[in-house]
Structure 1
């Protein structure tokens, strides 16, 4: 029997930045059967309180969230940090400096705030919609973050071919100490090497005393790959690209906005008996 379900948020669980009623109802039924439902997201923790409220785990003991693609694990009661592994300033600076002459919006996340450089209007609007604490920085200088806990850095552009080309041509001296993934068809995500959703879920699964084979992971994009591969049951949403789908043990019939998470819960939790 599966004990924990790890779920990506954007393009998996959420519709318009909220958990739709059909997913809420399925999650609550699964929780009544003893399943822990854990968001496993690239977002910061301070971007998900409303989502946690919608699934009934906000500020609750023995309820958890994984953020920053596995870089942060939090117990929801009093926002207790169980694990954090960020991106050191030197490596972040290399990526930041390389992005200066690129045609991308650059976002640097600390635990507490998102700092936006080369600000893109649509990216600012997205952060407002996500209710994310953020600041637009007009000067291209991140030295004020030298003593902050940096979680990750992103390049944003709504052109995946261009983003992949950036990674392909980026000097190895910059790439060698970071983990690089893509998400939401608009981001290159840079975490410190060894940090991914799979390592985050392994940490929490071990912390709770469960076996990794008792876990379900569901996602849709490249930053979900290690979660999908690590989970006892790796599930992929119908909207995912074919190479991500190829990694899954189950691909949903429904897309994220039609109940992909609900489908997996019903198939593997509510109807397993």
Structure 2
């Protein structure tokens, strides 16, 4: 029996930054089945409050969220932090200084805010639509964050080949020091080395007394691959790239904007009114 489902948000669960009704209805059936539904996102926790409201898990005890690609695990009631693994100021500054020399928007996420440097107007509009707490910083200087709890730093550009070239350029800097991932086909993200959605899945499953084989993970992008590979059932949506499809146990027949998450719940939880490992 599956007891916990982790789902990515953007391009997996959400459409236009909201949970569509088909997914809301499917998730709403899980509580009576004793199945936890856990958002697993690169977003900050303060960016997903409205989403949790739509899921019916906002400010609820015994409901959980994974944020910052696994760097933060929260019990939703009173925003109770169970686990946090962030970057040091020095490590962040290493990447921040490098970002100045590339044609990218640079974002630093703390527990409380997203700070945007070399702002891309499209990214500012995106953060506004996400209802994120953010500040655009005109001066390229991060010294004001010396005492902050930094979760991650990322480079944004809507040009994946360019971002992949940056990753190649930085291999001597990042190898053995940072966890590197991509998301939303516009972000090159840097977390502490041992942070991933897959490691967060294992941590939360252990915390809840759930075995690895009793978990499902649903995603679409490269920052989802660790949880897709780690879960008892790893799922990607139909719009994922071919390499992500190849590593998944199941590929949905529809894309995220047509109810891919609902399909997974129907197929592996609700079918015939029974839990089934297929």
Q: Is TM (by shorter chain) over 0.5?
A: yes
* 2:227 matched residue in structure 1: 227
Tell me the SS of whatever aligns to 2:206: helix
CA-to-aligned-CA distance 1:171-217 (integer Å, 9 cap, x gap)? 51344310000000000010010100011111111000110110000
* 2:188 matched residue in structure 1: 188
Q: How many residues align structurally?
A: 273
CA contact (8 A) 1:47 1:130 kept: yes
* 1:108 matched residue in structure 2: 108
Tell me the SS of whatever aligns to 2:224: helix
Distance 2:34 2:190 in 1: 35
* 1:119 matched residue in structure 2: 119
Q: Is 1:199 the counterpart of 2:193 in the alignment?
A: no
1:71-110 matches, cutoff 5 A: 71-110=71-110
Question: Gaps (5+ residues) in structure 1?
Answer: none
Q: Offset at 1:91?
A: 1.1
Distance 2:37 2:159 in 1: 33
1:1-273 matches, cutoff 5 A: 1-271=1-271, 273=274
Distance 1:199 1:89 in 2: 23
Distance 1:267 1:31 in 2: 17
RMSD: 0.8
Q: Offset at 1:243?
A: 0.7
Q: Offset at 1:30?
A: 2.1
Question: Gaps (5+ residues) in structure 2?
Answer: none
CA contact (8 A) 1:235 1:250 kept: yes
The change in CA–CA distance for 1:119 and 1:175 in structure 2 (over 3 A counts) is farther
